[in-house]
Each structure stands twice: as C-alpha cells, then as structure tokens.
Amino acid sequence: MKSSLTMTLPDTTSTRSGLPWRQILLGVLAVAIVVYSFTANGYVVTVIGFAAIYALFCTGLNFFMGFTGQASFGQNAFAALGGYGSAILTADYSVEPAVALVLTMGFSGLVALIVGYPTLRLRGHYLAMATFALGLITYEISINWTDLTQGYMGYSGIPPLGIGPYYADSPKAQLAVIFVLLALGVIAAARLKNSRFGRACRAIAGSELAAGALGIPVARYKLISFVIAAVYASAAGSLFAHFVGFISPEVFGTAMVVQSFTMLYLGGIGTIAGPLIGAVVVSMLPEVMRGLKDFQTVGYLLLLLAILIYAPRGLHGLLERILPDREG
C-alpha cells in the first residue's frame, strides 16, 4: 500500500511591509529643518515661522477638505478671529497670550458651530460659495469696524507668546513654541484620522449617501469636522499675531485662501504630511528662486504648475511613487 505524503508550502499570498522609508525620510527632513532654523539668521527664522504657522492652518483645513471631502473657502475668517481676538485680549486687556490663544480657539469653535449648522446643509459649489462669503464678510468687518480692529492701520503692540513670567522674547524662542504647537496639532490630526470618527469622515468623503446608509450621522460629523478646522485656523491666526506683533486685514484676505489651497494640493491633500510639505515648499520657493530677479514670479508659477501637472496627488503622492511600500 502506497503512503501519501502531504507537503505544506509557504503561503506566498501573505505580504510583509518593508521599512517605512517615507516616514524615515520625512522625519529626517523635519529634523533638518528644525536644526537649520535655529542656526540661521533672523530672516530665515521668520520665513520658517510663517511656514510652520501655515502648516498648522492647512492641517486643520486638510481635515475638513481632505478627510471629510468638503469645500471651504472661508477658513481665513477663523484665522482672523484668532488673530484679532488674541491682539485685543493681550494688548487692550492684558490677558496672558497663552490664555488668549485658548480663549480665541474656543470662541472660533463656537462661531463655527453656529455658522456651520445651517451652512453645511449645502453641498458642492453652494457650500464653497457660502464659506467664501463668510471669509469676505469677516474681511470687510476687519476693515470697517475701526474702533475694534483699527482698520487698515492695523493692530500693533501684541506681546510675544508666553504665560506668567515666561515669555518667548526672541524670534527663535517663539519659533520653538510654534514648532511644539505644530507637532501637537499634527499628532492630534493623525490620531483623529485613524479614530472611528476619522474613518467615518473618510466614508463621508467617499459618498455621503453610502455613509448615511451605514448609519453614520453625516450632518453631525461634517459639522464637527468644520469646527475642528476652525479651531486650527484660529490657533494659526493667534500664533501669527504673537509671532509678528502686528496684524492688519490684508493678512487674512483672499490671498491667505489661495496660498493655503496651493500648499494643501501641492503637498498632498488627504495626507498627514501633505500640509507640512506644501507649507514648507510654497514658503521657501520664492526665497530659493530669488536669483531669477525679474523672472522670479514666472519661474515660481511654472514650477508650481509642473508639480501639479506631473504630480496630481501632490509631492507626498510623488514620494509614494518613488518610495513605495516594499513587499516580501
């Protein structure tokens, strides 16, 4: 009688993720930027500070647009609330800058809750136009309510970041505080993205009808996402006010909307690292291309167009193509 032998072969269908090359590379670049910023001159520190503040702003905007799939052209309104709120509280009422930052974040979140409840019932370009109108209204108020905002004269005398006897009284000290707050904001966004709430938001981005059929409260989650983005924008506006010590309506105008959209789509919308990459690249490119002199703006725009055409998923998506996950 013949005996049968059974051979067990290894399961070739299972995959093993390789080393997280992208995370390592992005981490090394982040550390290099931080180290470089503390060894550079004052002007470079200012540029990197602005990039970090915009990165925080875009991280919040990315949660509403990238993860939840909604359109918002009015996040500059909440940045203005944060900036002017911190300026008024600290310069006129001697409130501690750290306390003012938290208070304005709470106030902006409340305003977003009130405004977003009726507005987010709209969809598509109707929602985009409604949020754009919100930004324009806030901008006009900042110009015309001169008793409160000083109009085009701007608001000066804003103290640096700090609390009690501890103040970041130098640009590099303020930059360190901004980096810490940015890191906290990115970590919070990453945890939210991978939470049950974040997965529900991504389901909404895929299809609101399908998400609703699965029992997800679409309207509620869209509103929460909008409030989160508003809180991030408010924090960015407050940081700008304390970092510069001066604000005016132009800071929170439509140029802020255009620049944040450029950063978001250039870096990679819907990713955690995308807003950081986009903020750094868009902020540093004009300085890198300054040698072109009269052709600086043309070269800058051509480079941005080339990236958007040949890397439609942003620089983070391009990095994914260059360094894909390894399987073994």
39-96: pLDDT as tens digits: 888 888 999 999 999 999 999 999 999 999 998 999 999 999 999 999 999 999 989 9
- Other CB atoms within a 10 A radius of the CB of residue 311 amount to 16
Q: What is the pLDDT of residues 197-230, one digit of tens each?
A: 999 999 999 999 999 999 999 999 999 999 999 9
Average pLDDT over residues 227-243: 97
239 occurs within a structural domain: yes
* The 3-state secondary structure of 186-221, one letter per residue: HHHHHHHHCCHHHHHHHHHHHCHHHHHHCCCCHHHH
Per the structure, how many domains does the chain have? 1
∠ CA 28-29-35 to the nearest 5 degrees? 90
CA distance 168 to 170: 6
Domain for residue 1, yes or no?
A: no
Mean pLDDT of the chain: 87
- What 8-state DSSP symbol labels residue 270? T
- Binned at pLDDT 50, 70 and 90, residue 8 comes out as very low
Domain contains 259: no
Q: Quick check: is 281 in a domain?
A: no
**212 in any annotated domain:** yes
Yes or no: say if 105 and 82 are a contact pair by the CB < 8 Å rule.
yes
User: At residue 1, does pLDDT exceed 70?
Assistant: no
Which secondary structure element, helix H or strand E, spans residue 156, and what is its range? Answer: strand 155-156
- Give the residue with greater pLDDT, 273 vs 169: 273
146 in any annotated domain: yes
Residue 328: per-residue pLDDT: 36
Is position 267 within any domain?
no
- Start-to-end C-alpha separation, the chain: 41
The pLDDT of residue 43 is 86
Instruction: Read off the pLDDT band of 325 (50, 70, 90).
Output: low
Roughly what angle, to the nearest 10 degrees, separates helices 97-119 and 124-144? Answer: 140
The domain in which residue 106 lies consists of: 40-253
Is the pLDDT assigned to residue 17 strictly greater than 60? no
pLDDT band per the 50, 70, 90 thresholds, residue 6: very low
* pLDDT for 109: 97
Q: Which amino acid is at 304?
A: L
Strand partners, 247: 155
Please indicate whether residue 8 or residue 322 has the higher confidence score (pLDDT): 322
How many helices and strands, by DSSP H and E, does the chain display? 14, 4
Query: How would you label 31-50 residue by residue, b for 16+ Cβ within 10 Å and e otherwise?
Result: eebeeebeeeeeeebbbbbb
Evaluate if residue 298 carries a pLDDT over 90. no
Can you tell me the distance from the alpha carbon of 19 to that of 173, in angstroms, rounded to the nearest whole number?
Answer: 35
Under the phi-then-psi rule, with left for phi > 0, alpha for psi from -120 to 50, and beta for the rest, what region is 271? beta
- Give domain status of residue 264, yes or no: no
The whole-number pLDDT of residue 22 equals 72
